[in-house]
Structure 1
Amino acid sequence: MTQPQSPSALPGPALRPVRVGLVGAGPWARAMHARMLAAGPETELAAVWARRPEAAEEVAQQYGARAAASFEELLDLCDAVAFAVPPAVQAELAVHAAKAGRPMLLEKPLGADLASARRVAEAVAEHGVMTQLVLSKRYHPVTREFLRRAQDATVVGARSCYLHGAFLGGDFATPWRLEQGALLDLGPHLIDLLDAAVGPIATIRSSGDSRRWIELTCEHANGAISQASLSGAVHLSRARTRVELFGPGEELVYDTAELDHEECWPVLRREFAQAVRTGRGNGIDAGRGLRLQELIAMAAG
């Protein structure tokens, strides 16, 4: 396996795009990863590999990329790897990518369970590779302003929800989501926001059924209490994500109802390319993914 030349080491007045290999060719790979990486200018979609060669070929052709015949060939064709596959598949292949020294754009959750997530984080640490986690809301300017304001607030309690109906049918009613439910799929997003906005979560417990509706109660290290409602199986006209922070000051509210999620992708792409070039990430990485998976495992009991 060849080691690609660092993008920052190339001659010329302008840096060439980071060549990213995409693992996966399913609905999320097509809707977000492929088109985001191909849009550039910071990155280019160099290659696509999937378990279904015809699906990989279709995505690759659309963006002028190569369809890799194997995961090993994909690694040879790229500077960095992006994953858009089920958690169990990501956890297995990410360990191999880390051993090959490839920076990675990882999906949440990091793995299908805590043990596999820990193996990914350990491989990343052992081989010193840069990682970035696709907690998509974290890349929106409105989210970042909310978290900035939350740092200056005294919070004693919080309420939050992440609700949609994607599990009821359609492209995202995938086997792992239907089996694991909202805690593993939506939980990383909402738990991440509560942990960042209110303060580090010390304990978390749950009630309900993750495949229908699950309630989380979090005790934070600073003494605050937060609650989170999660479901992917309720009929709504659009997904609903809302966080309300309460304390002695004014209520602070984060609501995605009016957000244009398309604003997330250029930020994510730019920060990933910069991190690949410099080897310095933004902190939303495999370590963060493991922290969230530990909290999910705690909630699951």
Structure 2
Amino acid sequence: MRIGLLGTGPWAQMAHAPALEQHPEVDFVGVWGRRADAAKELAGRHGARAYDDIDALLAEVDAVAVALPPSVQAELAVRAARAGCHLLLDKPLATTVEQGRAVAGAAADAGVASVVFFTTRFLPETEEWITEQAAAGGWFTAHAQWLGSVFSGGDSPFANSPWRREKGALWDVGPHALSVLLPVLGEVRRVAAAAPGPRDTAHLVLEHTDGASSTLTLSLTAPAEAAGTAVELRGEHGVTRLPTAAPGVVPAFQRAADALITAVRTGRPHPCDAAFALRVTEILAEAEALLEG
């Protein structure tokens, strides 16, 4: 599959570009970025071509991988879908429901495949655990904690991200938590409560249509010593916790590329497609309204 990369920032450098270059079933064609010099540097480092004209890149690839802020991603994903390109997107799909619907609608109208890179869903250990718990069923409640220290004075490459500073943990790590809870506990009936915590921390309570409830604690401003991820389920089968997965965003992103290739070949949507990511956006927008109210 011929894939082009849109974006040149830290995430594109850490995950997208090396994963695409090393993938045996991908022809990493080129890079487009909002800064031409950054696109040239990143493309040169990975044996690809830098493009000044995004439409020229879209015309020469089968798919695009996007590593851009959500609002920019949404706009360009619609443009790419209308050009006939399959979509390998990042979370969150968008930070408004309107933009999310535009992406999902454009993909559906164009008949292109889409995969959204919810990292936890593409790590083998956690993917297997999610599948097993969804099959087991009978869950009563769950608690998810996604605590990052991006804004706690460390040297995170994402600390200067304008959209993260504006939207906070709800939109940055909230999608990760929902990507685990939704396939296990089922659809969310409503966001029952949302309360702010320290700095950008958010606490959510969700009601699921099958009767289960879940709580989420999300932050990008936790102390470095307290940062980490934990998900605990309690139900008919007792208690189980999300296993610790070996870090490795490059292999995970390659698995996401595999998923896109499979979706194109088979015509079967992947569970983490744009429609699923739109539902995540809708839930987060509902929570945001409660937090702001």
The reply to whether TM is greater than 0.5 is yes
What is the CA–CA distance in structure 1 between the aligned matches of 2:235 and 2:273, rounded to whole Å? 30
Structure 2: unaligned runs, 5 residues or longer: none
What is the CA–CA distance in structure 1 between the aligned matches of 2:151 and 2:54, rounded to whole Å? 29
Give every structure 1 segment of 4 or more consecutive aligned residues whose post-TM-superposition deviation is greater than 3 Å: 276-281
Which piece of structure 1 moves more, 146-155 or 83-92?
146-155
Q: TM-score, normalised by structure 1?
A: 0.89
Task: Report what 2:76 is aligned to.
Answer: 93
Superposition pairs of residues 156-195 of structure 1, within 5 angstroms? 156-168=140-152, 170-173=156-159, 174-195=161-182
Task: Report what 1:112 is aligned to.
Answer: 95
SS of equivalent to 1:280: coil
Structure 1: unaligned runs, 5 residues or longer: 1-17
SS of equivalent to 2:126: helix
* C-alpha displacement of 1:210: 8.7
Instruction: Report the identity percentage.
Output: 39
* C-alpha displacement of 1:48: 0.1
SS of equivalent to 1:218: strand
Quickly say closer, same or farther: Cα 1:213–1:238, change in 2 above 3 A: closer
SS of equivalent to 2:242: strand
8 Å CA contact retained: 1:178, 1:211: no
Which piece of structure 1 moves more, 61-70 or 233-242?
233-242
What is the CA–CA distance in structure 2 between the aligned matches of 1:20 and 1:211, rounded to whole Å? 39
RMSD: 1.7
Quickly say closer, same or farther: Cα 1:108–1:211, change in 2 above 3 A: farther
8 Å CA contact retained: 2:95, 2:285: no
Q: Does 1:213 align with 2:201?
A: yes
Task: Report what 1:69 is aligned to.
Answer: 52
Paired letter, 1:126? D
SS of equivalent to 1:161: strand
SS of equivalent to 1:167: coil
What whole-Å deviation, never above 9, does each CA across 1:227-263 have from its counterpart, x for those lacking one?
010001112258511110112322011043x533344
Task: Report what 2:183 is aligned to.
Answer: 196
What whole-Å deviation, never above 9, does each CA across 1:103-146 have from its counterpart, x for those lacking one?
01011111131111111111111111111100111011211221
Q: TM-score, normalised by structure 2?
A: 0.91
8 Å CA contact retained: 1:162, 1:186: yes
8 Å CA contact retained: 2:62, 2:84: no
Task: Report what 1:52 is aligned to.
Answer: 35
Quickly say closer, same or farther: Cα 1:220–1:210, change in 2 above 3 A: farther
What is the CA–CA distance in structure 2 between the aligned matches of 1:78 and 1:144, rounded to whole Å? 29
Superposition pairs of residues 245-284 of structure 1, within 5 angstroms? 245-256=233-244, 258-262=245-249, 263-284=251-272
* C-alpha displacement of 1:75: 0.5
